[in-house]
Structures are given as structure tokens and as C-alpha cells.
Amino acid sequence: MSESKRIKTALVSVYHKEGLDEIITKLHEEGVEFLSTGGTRQFIESLGYPCKAVEDLTTYPSILGGRVKTLHPKIFGGILCRRGLEQDMQQIEKYEIPEIDLVIVDLYPFEATVASGASEADIIEKIDIGGISLIRAAAKNYNDVIIVASQAQYKPLLDMLMEHGATSSLEERRWMAKEAFAVSSHYDSAIFNYFDAGEGSAFRCSVNSQKQLRYGENPHQKGYFYGNLEAMFDQIHGKEISYNNLLDINAAVDLIDEFDDLTFAILKHNNACGLASRATVLEAWKDALAGDPVSAFGGVLITNGVIDKEAAEEINKIFFEVVIAPDYDVDALEILGQKKNRIILVRKEAKLPKKQFRALLNGVLVQDKDTNIETVADLKTVTDKAPTPEEVEDMLFANKIVKNSKSNAIVLAKDKQLLASGVGQTSRVDALKQAIEKAKSFGFDLNGAVMASDAFFPFPDCVEIADKEGITAVIQPGGSVKDDLSFAYCNEHGMAMVTTGIRHFKH
């Protein structure tokens, strides 16, 4: 098996021609002959280089509205013939099939056409047949052929040509084949998911962009992120984002997106330890920090408002890992950027997935993302006493936080401020006791506060505990056959309770 192979003939048929001219020029200088179709052939000839038409080789024109151009034995024979196999070489000589050593091709923009809202007829026409076949054939025969399957591979090819001319090593060809199969498998996954139309008949998820992280959740674990972080954030300062940073950033984005009011949140281990909605970023920050200034140390900060100098000066007084905002004043950035490793992110508008999945056991769990945000219209008062408008506002506020907290979860809030939460407990009573203890430790008065739970109360124990602390209103999903016990307690003690009908468990 020969390591080095020389490129004598290149088949080029692409949609994206930006950056192709340098490659064509270099190949021509190396004596490579070109074979092409339609617009690409015209492009090559416009550069002043000769190019043979595919139809002259196959003796067939492009037919069926362009659906069939390269699908011919003289094309695929030239790609698939094994140079080291005498029988193959005898056959291509017999049938006058030229060897094709380099294939540069890309695919019709199927995903972009779907995203544009085009008609099904237009979408179907963007299912590439000839291109995908050329990619698979050339990649399969990487022992003898180089395949460039997308514009992203133009630079690696050009670098290779500049380094050692129109020759390639087996290692280079195999790497190109791997990249080509990544293109073809992603393309086929997109087509399948379009036809599957959300039925979930099979799991197909493909993401091209890979970022290797320093390590995973712990230093002994490898970690990767697949996706385009640059589409979501501009990182303007700080160290490389870690696996655990990403988990917290994801939780922070999910949480802040619940709020229309100007809000500031502090997260630690994916849970909010401080959150407040206020008229200014500075006020929101101060009241969010008051919720748990101990846990805030080393946390992830996020706001939906622009961080100004005054807010930055206060924020800069504590140690934190990440801060996220839609924008920053220039002088605020100068202050926040004083710490070398502090990660500063500007959040951009980006479309987020509607599905969530995680690997476990020997398979994958998939579910719709929990995008439901309860409003006043979703609340059902189940007690004799109705909550006041202020209590309703606080209950909806607390419900957004409990939705984004690890179960079992209880959230205590008042005046659009998180007083405390109990999260990740095996008992809802323990979660409540944890929240009460934390609130008291930071000097909060629970009289007039509201309580939110991510699940129903089959027993009145939590309601009794909350009542004794001065909590006046409760929001919970409802649905337990024993809910009446909690309702009865509230009625007897003058508490208000509303149900939403929707649980927000989060594990």
C-alpha cells in the first residue's frame, strides 16, 4: 500500500466557490487536469484554465432537470477503482475510464432550505443525490483518492498542496475521508429528522462543531462540547470555559429567560442562590446577592439588563467565575476585566433547541424542553382565601425559580426577591426546612412571604411548617388525591393556595 499518491485528475463540482480559486490555481500549476459540470466548469475556465465537461466524458448531458449529471460508471469507476488491484485497472482501461484522484464537491443546502420555510417541493429538490454519492465513493476509496466534501475543507486541502504539491499521504487521505463521512452522516440525519417530523421514531442528532474542553466534570474525565458557542456568546475576557462552567451557563440562560422584568440571578451548581427583579441592574444585583452572599462566592452571574459602571463596581467586590449580560458599558468592562481569569460573556440572540436529551444506561432519554411559563390565567385558587395581587406576583416569580431548581425543591420569595430555596432534597419537608433555615440565617423576615413547590403536597406538613413561619400564600402544581388535606389546613388557618396543574420536576 503506497503512502504517497499523486493527483493527476480532479473532479470539481461545488456550490461554494469562495476560496476555490487558490486551490484551482495551485492544482493547475502542478499539472492537474480538471473535470467539472455547469457553473463550476465556467468558474474554472474563467480563471484561464482548461476544464473537461463531465458530459463529454459520459456522453450524456445533464438530464431530469439536473437530477442526473455525474451518476455514471465513467465517473464512479474512475473514483472507485483500486489502483493496486490489477483487475480494476484492466477494467478501467477496457472501458476507457480515467482515474480521478481528487474529488471536490459540496451538497445542496438542505437544512438552510428547510429553515427558510420553503415548500416541500423545493425542500425535496435540495436532497442531494450526485454529490452525496461522490462523497461516499471517494471517501470509501481513500487509499487512492482525496475527498473534499465541504467548503470547510478548502483550507486543509490548500495547506496540503502548499506543503508538498499535488501529492498526499495515506494519513491525509484518511483524515479527509473521516471529515467527509461527518458531512454525509450529518446531511442524512437532517433529512431523516425532516421526514420524521418530530415523531421520534429513531434518535438522530448531529452537531458538527466540536470543542475539546480541559476535562469533563472531574479532571480524570475527558470532556467535549458539540455546538457553536460563538453563535450564543461573545467571550470578551477570561479563561477557557470549562465543562462545569457550561452546565452553570446553561442553567443561568434557562432561568433568566423566564423573566421579562429586569432581573439579576446568581447560580451555584445549576441552582439559583440569589435572584431579584428590580428597576435597575444595581438594585437587582444587591438584592440578589442578599439572598445568599455565602453561596454567591465563585458563582455564575446573569442579567437581562445592561451592566453599567455602578453595578460593575459592586459586582467586582466578590469573586465569581462567569458573568453574562446582553451588553456592558465600556467603563463597566474595565472594572470587571480586572481579574485575569474572570469569564465575561455577551449574550447574543440565538435559537435554542426545543428538545433535550441525555445518555443513560444503554440508550438515550429525549424530551421536549420545558418552555411553559405560568401566568395569572393559569392559576386556580383552591382555598377560601384568594391571594392578593402582590402575592400572585410573588408566587409567579417564585414558580419560575422553582421550575429551574433541582427537585425536590421549595422556593421562598417576597417582593420579587428570592429569600431562600431548598433544592435537591429527598424529602419536600427537608427542602422547606433548608430554605427556612437559610432565609433566617441571612436575616429575612418570612412574614408575608410566599412558597413555591415543584410538586404537590399529599400531606399538609409543609403547609403547617410554612404557616408557623408567617408564609401567607402557596403555589403548587396540585393533582394529589390527598390535596384536600392541604386545602383544608389553609382554609382553617387563613392561607391562600393556588395550583397550576403543571409540575416542573428537574433532575
Domain-located, residue 313: yes
- Using DSSP's 3-state secondary structure scheme, residue 10 falls into strand
Question: Along the 507 residues of the chain, how does pLDDT read in single tens digits?
Answer: 458 899 999 999 998 888 999 999 999 999 999 999 888 999 999 999 999 998 888 888 887 877 878 888 888 999 999 998 899 999 989 988 999 999 999 999 999 999 999 999 999 999 999 899 999 999 999 999 999 999 999 999 999 999 999 999 999 999 999 999 999 999 999 999 999 998 889 888 888 888 899 899 999 999 999 999 999 999 999 999 999 999 999 999 999 999 999 999 999 999 999 999 999 999 999 999 999 999 999 999 999 999 999 999 999 999 999 999 999 999 999 999 999 999 999 999 998 988 899 989 999 999 999 999 999 999 999 999 999 999 999 999 999 999 999 999 999 999 999 999 999 999 999 999 999 999 999 999 999 999 999 988 778 899 999 999 999 999 999 877 777 888 889 999 999 999 998 888 888
Tally of domains within the chain? 3
Question: What is the predicted pLDDT for the residue at 198?
Answer: 87
The three-class DSSP label of residue 104 is: strand
Residue with cell 422547606: 432
Q: Are residues 46 and 182 in the same domain?
A: yes
State pLDDT tens for residues 169-213. Answer: 999 999 999 999 999 999 999 999 999 998 889 888 888 888 899
* Residues 339 and 393 grouped into a single domain: no
> 15 lies in a domain?
yes
Residue 473 β-bridge partners: 450, 496
d(CA 499, CA 83): 73
**What is the helix (H) or strand (E) element at residue 355, kind and residue range?**
strand 355-360
- Mark whether 254 and 153 lie in a shared domain: no
Selected catalytic residue, list 269, 339, 385, 433: 269
Is residue 436 in some structural domain? yes
In a domain, 218, yes or no: no
Residues 253, 392: one domain? no
pLDDT confidence of residue 2? 53
In angstroms, rounded to a whole number, what is the distance separating the alpha carbons of residues 83 and 96? 15
Task: Name the grid cell of 260.
Answer: 421579562
Characterize the bridge pairing of strands 380-381 and 417-422. Answer: unpaired
Q: Domain check: are 333 and 235 in the same one?
A: yes
Would you say residue 212 lies in a domain? no
> Residue 469 — φ and ψ, nearest 5°?
-90, 0
Asked which of 194, 218, 252 is the last residue of a domain, the reply is 194
Within a domain: 341: yes
Distance CA 411, CA 424 (A): 12
Q: What is the pTM of this model?
A: 0.87
* H or E stretch at 274: strand 271-277
Q: Given the DSSP bridges, would you call strands 473-476 and 9-13 parallel, antiparallel or unpaired?
A: unpaired
Domain boundary among the residues 325, 345, 365 is at 345
Residues 294, 388: one domain? no
Shared-domain flag, residues 35 and 162 = yes
Burial class (CB in 10 A: 0-12, 13-18, 19+), 89: middle
CB–CB of 187/126 below 8 Å?
no
pLDDT computed for residue 251 by the predictor: 96
28 is catalytic: no
| Alpha helices (H) along 346-495 | 389-403, 428-441, 461-468, 483-493
Per DSSP, helices labelled H in 223-329 are: 229-232, 243-256, 281-290, 309-315
Run of H or E residues at 332: helix 330-336
List the one residue out of 217, 241, 244, 243 whose CA is nearest residue 230. 241
Range(s) of the domain holding residue 36: 2-194
Identify whether residues 280 and 393 lie together within a single domain: no
Among the listed residues 140, 237, 339, 440, the single catalytic one is 140
Tell whether 202 is covered by a domain: no
Long-range CB pairs of 345-353 (<8 Å, 24+ gap) are: 345/233, 345/234, 345/235, 345/236, 345/249, 346/233, 346/234, 346/236, 347/232, 347/233, 347/253, 348/231, 348/232, 348/233, 348/234, 350/231, 350/232, 352/253
CA-wise closest residue to 484 among 378, 388, 383? 383
Contact present, 144 and 137 (Cβ < 8 Å):
no
CA distance 373 to 255: 11
| 269 catalytically annotated | yes
87 and 10 both lie in a single domain: yes
Query: DSSP class of residue 42?
Result: H
Same domain, 298 and 189: no
Co-location of 144 and 46 in the same domain: yes
Cell, residue 231: 453563535
- How far apart (Å, rounded) are the C-alpha atoms in residues 59 and 74? 10
User: Which pLDDT value is given to residue 71?
Assistant: 82
Cis check for the bond before 244: say yes or no (omega within 30 of 0): no
170 and 47 co-located in one domain: yes
pLDDT of residue 1: 42
Distances (CA, A) of 58 to 55, 61, 135, 137, 254: 5, 8, 19, 17, 56
Report how far residue 104's alpha carbon sits from residue 424's, in angstroms, rounded to the nearest whole number. Answer: 53
Q: Is residue 222 part of a domain?
A: no
CATH code for position 409: 3.40.140.20
